[in-house]
Amino acid sequence: MFRDTYDFDGYVVCDCGGIQSIMTRHNYTSTIPDTVAAALHAGVDLDCGSFYNTNIPIAFANKTISETDIDQALSRVFNVLLRLGYFDPPEMQPYRNLSRIDIGTHQAQQLAFVSAQQSLVLLKNVNQSLPLHFDQLINKTIALIGPSANATLLMLSNYHGQAPFLISPLMGFQSITLSI
């Protein structure tokens, strides 16, 4: 299981509608109690939607899940909340002081930039072609191909607020080439 393989000590949250799709789209299960059991037993501790909320009592009454299954999921969630200081007094929680006015500030943008840099994963680097070195790009042509080359809103998906600005891959490369 991934918890052992990756030494994962957190909780797993399912995308909204994801648990229900085990039954309705993937046809992996055929009943609601079996769907709840499959998700819980696979290690999904929390549902961002309402499928668990509505159907865990049904699965429990049907005996497809046990109190131990529920306790395990709750234990994982509350363990993380405790480690994050969620139940600590407000004065011990620096993030409780943040509000909407902290969104889009220079400090927030710098943190987002560093987070993006640190979270990039390169799956394959044929001939060690990456990272690109700017001095090697002089008098060269780079082709950005595909429907997302100049995408901005598309890249946000549906989990976003109001972005202070959007930069497409094309815009990013254009800004680099202007500085070379």
pTM over 0.85: no
pLDDT surpassing 80 at residue 79: yes
SS (H, E, C) 116-179: HHHHCCCCCCHHHCCCCCHHHCCCCCCCCCCCCCCCCHHHHCCCCCCCCCCCCHHHHHHHHHHH
Q: Chain centroid to CA 135: how far?
A: 35
Options 4, 7, 9, 15, the catalytic residue: 15
Domain boundaries, the chain: 2-83, 98-179
Active site residue 102: no
pLDDT tens readout for residues 145-178 = 988 899 888 878 777 777 778 889 899 888 876 6
